[in-house]
Structures are given as C-alpha cells and as structure tokens.
Homo-oligomer: A and B are copies of this chain.
Amino acid sequence: MATHSTIRDVARSADVSLGTVSNYLSGKKPISDVMRGRIEAAIAELQFVPNAAVRVMQGGRSHVIAFIVPDSGNPFFLEVARGIEDFAIDNGHVVVTCNTEGDLERERHYAKALSEMRVGAVIAVASTSNELLLSTLQKSGVRVVTLGRQLPGGLFPTIAVDDLRGGFIAMSHVLERGHRRVAFLGAPDAESQIRERFAGCVAAYSDAGLDPAELLRVDADLNSPTARSAASRAILALEPRPTAVVCANDVIALALEAEAIRSGLRIPEDLAIVGYDDIEGAAIAPIPLTTVYQPRYDLGHRAAELALSENYPASTEPPFAPSLVVRTST
C-alpha cells in the first residue's frame, strides 16, 4: 500500500507552486486554464486524494454531521435521518448516526468521539439525559440543534413539530365521528412529546364539552413489542370497552389493531383507532390506519440546514404543523 501522494507531489509533478494547487483544490482564487490542465493531469496521474484531516487540524471542523438519536430503528427517526442525510450530501457532508439507546455511557462515548473528531454539527433528539453533553459540545464550538422540543434554558436552536396540535386534531377527529368513550394509549409521561399529545387530546375533549376526567388512558413501554401487545389487550379489556382509541404513535396503534383483529373486533365499526407518525406500515396495515402525519423528512432536512447555515444560531423556528391522514381505521 503505497503511501498517499501529497499536494507537494502534485505541485512538483505539474511544475506549479504549492499555493496554486491549493487554490485549484479550494477554488478560492481563480487560476489560469494552463495551470488547471497541468494540475488535473498530475492529480490523475498520481491518484492524489486530499487529506481532509489537515483542514480540521488547522482549526477547521470536519464535514461530519452527527445525528444523536435514542433508537435509530424507529421509522420516524429513519425518515428524519434521510432528510438530514440528503441535505448533508448536497453540502459535502457525511452523517454519523449515534444510536444511544438511552444508555448514558454510550452517550458519553459519542460525546468524546465527536469532540475529538471536531464534528461540524450535532443534531440531537432532545432528551434531558443529553442536555449536559450537548452544552459541553456547544461550548467547544460545535453547532448543536435539538429536535422535537426545546430543552430548558433555550440554549439550542430547535426544530419541532407541534405535538399539542397533533393530539388535538387526532382527538377532534374521533369526537367528530361521534365517539364519546375514548381512550389514550400512550407511554409514561417521561417523554414530553407524549405529554404534549395527551394534553392536546384533553384540550379537544374539553372543547367538545366533555369531562376530561372521563378520558381513559393506558400506558406502555413503547419500545417493547411484548409491552405493546399487553397494553393493547389491556385497552380491549376495559369495561365498557372504548369505541375509539387515540395512540401515542403508530407502532403501538398497529399492535392494538392486530390485537383487535385477533379478538374478532371490526375496525372501525367496533373500534376506531388513530395513530401518530404515519409510518410506512400505517398505510399497508390490514386496516389502513388513520394517523397524524409529521413532516419528518422536512424536519430532518430543515434541522441540517439550520445547523450548517451561515447565521447559526438563528432564532428558533416556529414548530412544524402536523396534519391528519384519514384512512379506514376511523
């Protein structure tokens, strides 16, 4: 494995000065066609590949965007990641997805690795656990953007979707369909997004002149398949059974749908279901799922744009608006 050729080799081979080759590569200064031709020939001949590390060493930042996410397998984040990646590529960057799985040690590993790499930007799904690490990164000069919600202190620019409104339109929808005995299938309040969605549901419930205390609720660990199934069965076992269920996300909504089908219920006649997220599986489910769509691709795309923008940190943006996708399940 021959050692790499350097800009000096290119300059010598093209009989041109160092600075001219550098100008050719960076495009910051114009150069003549003669020089350009000679340099290009030399680069091709020597198979020269510039060493990106040097720019970083000089005090620059590497063309890497880190995406810090608790569960990269979640279809929602996957789509966000696509948005980030597309923008990153168009701007000569590369994305490192850091899957923390909620593990603090893993978060620390990534924070250390990213600092040492001098990453250009970090886009992180907001959570209380990573707040400290993010502010450390920010202090060392990394552009940080949080996703989903504003972290207390307002330190970081944030791209969010209006979850309150999402919960509101989901609940309004089933109430308009005439349902009066409704349940919310969610997760413990740790996640503030879930809390917001539930709050939106409560608001819609009140607005319809109903008593929010009568709104049923079952919680589950959304990341566990067995917990999802168990919570779904718990919903179906409520006496009397709700006629409609608004779910915290599509993954658990689909679990509920599967359980309902298995126990012989007709959807939407016996049970209406509303999901949240509009993941791919929602449209191709046995009973296509009514759900709240979040512009997740745009979310990621916009976050990357903000992170790399000239005038970072910009003032925090107004949240994106979710919309209802009505399908068969209601």
User: Residues on A close to B: CB < 8 A?
Assistant: 1, 3-4, 47, 49-54, 56-57, 59, 62-64, 72-73, 75, 78-79, 81-82, 85, 89, 92, 94-99, 106, 109-110, 113-118, 139-141, 225, 228-229, 254-255, 258, 261-262, 280-281, 283-286
Q: With contacts A255-B284, A284-B255 known, is A57 near B63, CB below 8 A?
A: no
Q: Which residues of B contact A118 (CB under 8 A)?
A: 51-53
Partner of A113, one of B54, B57, B94, B140: B94
Closest to A63 in B: B113
Instruction: Write out the residue numbers on chain B whose beta carbons fall within 8 Å of the beta carbon of A75.
Output: 73
In the complex with contacts A140-B49, A255-B284, A261-B286, A99-B113 CB distance below 8 A: no
Task: Determine if A59 and B3 form an interchain contact, defined as CB atoms under 8 angstroms apart.
Answer: yes
Chain A facing B: main interface SS: helix
Query: Is B229 a contact partner of A258 (Cβ separation < 8 A)?
Result: no
Per the bound structure, the CA–CA distance linking A79 and B286 in Å amounts to: 25
Q: Nearest chain-B residue to A56 (Cβ)?
A: B53
- Which residues of B are found within 8 Å of A109, using beta-carbon distances? 89
A92 contact from B97, B113, B115, B283, Cβ within 8 A: B113
